[in-house]
Structure 1
Amino acid sequence: MVGYDPRADGRNVSNLEVAVAGSVSGLVTRVLISPLDVIKIRFQLQIERLSRSDPNAKYHGILQAGRQILQEEGPTAFWKGHIPAQLLSIGYGAVQCSPSWCTGPACATPETSPCILCVAACLPVWPPSPYILWTCYAPALQRRVYKTLRNAVVTMYRTEGPLVFYKGLNPTLIAIFPYAGFQFSFYSSLKHAYEWAMPAEGKKNGAVISPNLGKSCCSWMVMGEPRREEYKMQSFDAATQQLLKTALKDPGAVDLEKVANVIVDHSLQDCVFSKEAGRMCYAIIQAESKQAGQSVFRRGLLNRLQQEYQAREQLRARSLQGWVCYVTFICNIFDYLRVNNMPMMALVNPVYDCLFRLAQPDSLSKEEEVDCLVLQLHRVGEQLEKMNGQRMDELFVLIRDGFLLPTGLSSLAQLLLLEIIEFRAAGWKTTPAAHKYYYSEVSD
């Protein structure tokens, strides 16, 4: 699809695979619409009006034209001249599906990249141009001027010379720039409008909204990740910022175990960073895999997560904020780090254990831990249930008991627990009625 980014959904897809996918999509599309193109060209070439009232009109409607062509020329007539058209559509499909081919500041927005526009504009001038061949060959078949595509190329070359393949090129080039530009620009504009109307944070599992505990209970905010291009590095010193930027671009040039420790240490101190650190870790792992085919960073990251997991009770006793940050971070890592597009099994039980700890009575009496529990279930609950449904049942027994026996439970904590119980009961979705009940303050 136009402007597709294979990294946006956590998949490890190469540029070649994306280009092949785009080409195949162009091929299939052209096969499906070719009959309509043939009929369109016949309509354009017919001098008489497209009307039943004109006795000289051979075609006067889509269905009638289709039947006429089928009777006179057979079913293959709808795909004659198909090969040059196919070359053109495959080229467009490959270009539109491969924004990662373009690099540099001018290509920061793939949908409007000048690289893509230039390549799209150059497609009609391939020698010999598939576009010109198609427009000449397809209508000529009606009059049996050319027997085959090869015959059309040879005959046109012999009779009119090489410039015949570029007849009408000037208006084509004049038209293709605004055509391609408008196509990508409108796509980009509509995409941004959709993201404004439906933020990415609210699309993953319905409306994932949580109370902002730093404000009053009637103040709400949507929780989720910022744009892919942005990472919260402002709180690092200049040297650490440079270290992380280098790890993202050239992981072989830095000590990746040190990078893993830096990210974990900062995640335990900064709740904002812990909510998006998984995305940064995923980007570093992908970069390392492409550059060296190794997993030094992932190994170092998992080792640190294991160490902190084993000392989770001490961490909670030492710093409630650090504990909440750790749970947020490990759930973020679980959400992003995948093997064959599946969550890592090694993280399933540690994540469950952390959520079980948040569901204990002493944790439910603290709004910070209740908020963390609900947020992480919104984020990874459905994935966890698919990996181990029995443990999810046990977890929600604790949550249900905590809601029904609200010893020391605040009204906000009760509301959050009720919301997550209903969220799971509805198939990990927020029903319109539930959204109106729980999040009515958002519109205010």
Structure 2
Amino acid sequence: MEASEKKRKRTVISERGFSGAIGGSLTRAMCQPFDVLKIRFQVQIEPISKTNSSAVYRGIFQGLQHIVKSEGWTALWKGHVAAQALSATFGFVQFGLFEGITTYAFEKSPALNSVQSGVNFSAGFGSGCLATIISFPFDTIRTRLIVQGEPKIYKGVIDVVSKMWANEGALSLYHGLSPTLIQMGPYIGCQFAMYKFLVEIYDQAMEEKSAGLKSLTCGAVAGAFAKTLVYPLDLGKKRMQLQGFCDRHQYKGLFDCLATTVRNEGLAALLKGLSPSLLKAVFSSALQFYFYEITLEFLTRSRFEYIQK
């Protein structure tokens, strides 16, 4: 009986991980243009302003038009293969580990139900950090593919890996890992804690409960809140990932990167790319939780129907 229960729990966690991978992949496919624009904004030295004629990117719509005009429509999905690998891997580990941790914690210590938000934040923090470490090379690869203009320096994922490995060493694939962990831990923790909190409020307030609308609404708010909170760390991560690739400063670490950015470009530079990033965070978080929930519901229903047979 105990072995059967353990098998059931492993199956449930695997379903949640697989649902997270599907949700991440579908969301990435739909939101990749926002990510491309955000990264281009983040690595631009000049202020992002409609009145700044010397800047390549001056706003969301102007930036999108410039990319399409200069590089074609497909440029909005640059680095998409690496981005898909990143999202699927990250989603699988993130959701699978989060659900595993919270399920174990609440079953072993029912008293933790009184501090659910704290448990959800801690589980999200841990799952976000582990998912980041496992999937990080894909993040570095897609960043370089996105930043390159025309003519292209890299032909694709394999070319990025081989050139980085040969010219900068294998560890270059982990450039910016420290600031990413500092960023992603709190981000995923806040995202999950806020999402679960909003879902509970939604269930209490709404008489007619639409699962799809609930996931979309709660996911959007949770994503926007968490992204705004940690955004400067995301900017620092992106700039550190480009060391050795572009003619840029050599940073000693995350805080040196942020301090150098403020010193050279002003305090507002820490929020470069926030607009497309927030748009992406709202849509991607909403869609990710939505696709996760409907995929999980489908898998759970299919498993139940199979057992009933």
Q: CA deviation at 1:159?
A: 0.8
Q: CA deviation at 1:16?
A: 4.4
1:165 aligns with 2:163: no
1:182 aligns with 2:180: no
- The one-letter amino acid of 2:25's match is L
How far apart in 1 are the matches of 2:135 and 2:89?
A: 14
Q: CA deviation at 1:15?
A: 4.9
How far apart in 2 are the matches of 1:169 and 1:141?
A: 24
Describe the shift of the 1:204–1:132 C-alpha distance in structure 2 as closer, same or farther (beyond 3 A): closer
Q: CA deviation at 1:96?
A: 5.2
What's the counterpart of residue 200 of structure 2? 192
Query: Is the partner of 1:144 in helix, strand or coil?
Result: coil
What are structure 2's unaligned runs of at least 5 residues? Answer: 1-10, 111-115, 211-299
1:146 aligns with 2:154: yes
What's the counterpart of residue 122 of structure 1? 130
Kindly indicate whether the alpha-carbon contact (under 8 Å) linking 2:13 and 2:100 is maintained by their aligned counterparts in 1: yes
Higher relative contact order (CA 8 A, sep 6+): 2
Q: CA deviation at 1:157?
A: 0.9
How many residues align? The count is: 197
1:228-243 to structure 2, matched below 5 A, reads none
Describe the shift of the 1:100–1:123 C-alpha distance in structure 2 as closer, same or farther (beyond 3 A): closer
Kindly indicate whether the alpha-carbon contact (under 8 Å) linking 2:124 and 2:190 is maintained by their aligned counterparts in 1: no
How far apart in 2 are the matches of 1:144 and 1:34?
A: 19
Q: CA deviation at 1:106?
A: 5.4
Describe the shift of the 1:53–1:128 C-alpha distance in structure 2 as closer, same or farther (beyond 3 A): closer
* Residue 78 (structure 1) aligned to one of 62, 76, 79: 76
- The one-letter amino acid of 1:38's match is V
Supply the RMSD in Å over aligned alpha carbons. Answer: 3.5
- The one-letter amino acid of 2:68's match is L
1:37-56 to structure 2, matched below 5 A, reads 37-56=35-54
Query: Is the partner of 1:104 in helix, strand or coil?
Result: helix
What's the counterpart of residue 67 of structure 2? 69
Kindly indicate whether the alpha-carbon contact (under 8 Å) linking 1:141 and 1:147 is maintained by their aligned counterparts in 2: no
What's the counterpart of residue 93 of structure 1? 91
Q: CA deviation at 1:101?
A: 3.6
How far apart in 2 are the matches of 1:34 and 1:61?
A: 17
What's the counterpart of residue 104 of structure 1? 104
State the TM-score, normalized to the length of structure 2. Answer: 0.53
- The one-letter amino acid of 1:67's match is Q
* Residue 22 (structure 2) aligned to one of 5, 21, 24: 24
Kindly indicate whether the alpha-carbon contact (under 8 Å) linking 2:25 and 2:84 is maintained by their aligned counterparts in 1: yes
Q: CA deviation at 1:160?
A: 1.1
How far apart in 2 are the matches of 1:106 and 1:157?
A: 44
Q: Deviations over 1:174-222 (max 9, x none)?
A: 1111111111111222223334445xxx5579xxxxxxxxxxxxxxxxx
More helix by share: 2
1:189-338 to structure 2, matched below 5 A, reads 189-198=197-206, 203=208
How far apart in 1 are the matches of 2:34 and 2:90?
A: 19
Taking only the aligned residue pairs, the percentage that are identical comes to 33
Kindly indicate whether the alpha-carbon contact (under 8 Å) linking 1:124 and 1:132 is maintained by their aligned counterparts in 2: no
Kindly indicate whether the alpha-carbon contact (under 8 Å) linking 1:85 and 1:134 is maintained by their aligned counterparts in 2: yes
Query: Is the partner of 2:17 in helix, strand or coil?
Result: helix
Q: Give the number of the structure whose alpha-carbon radius of gyration is greater.
A: 1
How far apart in 2 are the matches of 1:184 and 1:150?
A: 34
Describe the shift of the 1:127–1:69 C-alpha distance in structure 2 as closer, same or farther (beyond 3 A): closer
What's the counterpart of residue 131 of structure 1? 139
Q: Deviations over 1:87-139 (max 9, x none)?
A: 22223433455455444235776981755532321222227622222233321
- The one-letter amino acid of 1:140's match is Q
Kindly indicate whether the alpha-carbon contact (under 8 Å) linking 1:27 and 1:89 is maintained by their aligned counterparts in 2: yes
